Chain A
Amino acid sequence: DVKVTQSSRYLVKRTGEKVFLECVQDMDHENMFWYRQDPGLGLRLIYFSYDVKMKEKGDIPEGYSVSREKKERFSLILESASTNQTSMYLCASSLGYRESGYTFGSGTRLTVV
């Protein structure tokens, strides 16, 4: 069974902290994605990666960075957490071909206080 694993289900961090959200997939997928999900706003793409050491900005990259040092791992970094980054964060992965859907992790609910 394919798996996308996010390291934490719930996190509480303080304003100004540096926060790392980790995502690992075991499907040898080329593509990995980070989304945030907020009520009424749906899924918004933060960053994505099509290959190791490669990253592309999504729709809302401000305040975030990412790292992909290995194919199976894609990390989202909040350089200095702020309360408006309180959200559900979802990682996803997919194969590189055209008709490939995304497999999502269970999400990390981050609260910044």
Chain B
Amino acid sequence: GESVGLHLPTLSVQEGDNSIINCAYSNSASDYFIWYKQESGKGPQFIIDIRSNMDKRQGQRVTVLLNKTVKHLSLQIAATQPGDSAVYFCAEKMGGLTFGKGTHLIIQP
């Protein structure tokens, strides 16, 4: 999951498996959360969002889960593909957006 430090957390998964990327957010008053995907050399791209009055939201091959009790957010990617290889950031919104440090998802063939 997300952490402070010089090295990005890395998650390595086999192609075709499901990936779960975790994020601990800091502000219990945050009311909106977003997951971004950043491929090498590109800017972050929106994947999926969730409001604080929800605990689950599904998109195409992606699901975001929100646990407000423990201030935890997760991104699940089904049937991971090579094109999913990227750095994934969570972001919480309380006024402005605050970003996590990111998790590097690596896909093993």
Residues of A within 8 A of B (CB): 4, 39-43, 45, 48, 90, 92, 98-99, 101-107
Contact = CB atoms under 8 A, between A and B. Distances in A.
Contacts of A98: 31-32, 93
Contacts of B102: 42
Nearest to A42: B101
A39 B7 CA distance: 7
B5 A40 contact: yes
Interface residues of B, number: 25
A98 B92 CA distance: 12
Given A99-B49, A101-B93, 20 more contacts: A40-B5, A40-B6, A40-B7, A40-B8, A42-B100, A42-B102, A45-B96, A48-B96, A90-B44, A92-B43, A98-B31, A99-B31, A99-B93, A101-B49, A101-B91, A101-B97, A102-B97, A103-B46, A106-B42, A107-B43
